[in-house]
Amino acid sequence: MRQAGRYMPEYRALRTRYSFLELCHTPEAAAEASMLPVTLLGIDGVIVFSDILVTLEAMGMDLSFDEGKGPILGDPIRSRADIGRLRHYDANVGTGYLPAAIRLLVQRLDGSLPVLGFAGAPYTLACYAVEGKTARHYAKTKSFMHTDPVGFRELLHRLADAAADLLIAQIEAGAELVQLFDTWAGDLMPDEFRAFALPAAAHVIERVQKTGTPIVYFVNGVGGKLHDIQSAGADVLGVDWRIGLDAVRAEVGPGMPLQGNLDPCTLYAPVEVIESRVRDVLAQNGTGPHIFNLGHGILPDVPVANAKALVNAVKTWGLR
């Protein structure tokens, strides 16, 4: 959840030497960014520094990042004919810098902490591929989905195999757990989620699980889709902050590993409030297996001291 990022002065110093994409593309620099939370926060697992959109870049899309507007894809996929522009690629070549960064981290950590990898889920990648940028309602994506469902499923299938290839390359490089980010799938109606996003994500999960490495499936906006999301077969269910873990536990049972789900804005609060909210999340989860995490990405102006207070609180009250 942006474990390393703009809230860290050390990361901002690193960015004076590299653009965002250069940082992603340079294994030594990506490994350096990935290690910052180890020394600054004392975290329990190291998330490799990258971005979900490197998959689309490797497939031939023109990717850039505007500091004020976020990601820009200059050649959107707006029709079935456009899908042919997406190329198949070898994840160890087209995105070889990512497994290379993981290998550096595994070597540096020498078993002291696990390295975690990730990729964008097919529907979320499709949203960026079709819109060409972050959008409010993803209207162009949904228009494509509704007017040409066969073509849209073809796009999702292509993206699913690309995401699975990237995750497997990270696992082969030493990642001990990987996460599939479906940031925009929560915006779908339940039947649309079942018809489009879910089967594509399940395909990725099925391929990854053949490696024996566990996978987290995170849907931002999981509420109302819990039953369906379980059917995707992921080993861990990522949960955003809009639903309590107690409600999730009531739906999925005590044995399902959960990840989440503190509201990222809680990190603007005083330390005593952060500590109280951490205890609330832990209590809502109960005694089931749980990876404490934010319910979405850490925000760029959060004080580092508050992030550290969060980690300390989890270690104080969360370990069993």
Q: Which residues are catalytic?
A: 2, 6, 15, 51, 128
Spatial contact of 215 and 180, defined as CB atoms under 8 Å apart: yes
The partner residues of 291 in beta bridges, in order of sequence, read: 259
The Cβ-side half-sphere exposure at 93, using a 13 Å CA radius, reads 4
Say how far apart CA 165 and CA 56 lie, in whole Å.
13
Report the SS3 class of residue 260.
strand
Nearest to 49, CA basis, from 20, 71, 9: 20
Q: Which two tokens stand for residue 12?
A: 């901002």
84 token code pair: 């042919």
Q: Are 176 and 216 in contact, with CB atoms under 8 Å apart?
A: no
> What is the greatest pairwise CA distance in the chain?
55
Torsion over CA of 231, 185, 200 and 117, rounded to 10 degrees?
-90
Question: What pairing do the DSSP bridges indicate for beta strands 258-262 and 115-120?
Answer: unpaired
Q: Which residues of 267-290 are buried (b: 16+ CB within 10 A; e: fewer)?
A: beeeeeebbebbeebbebbeeeeb
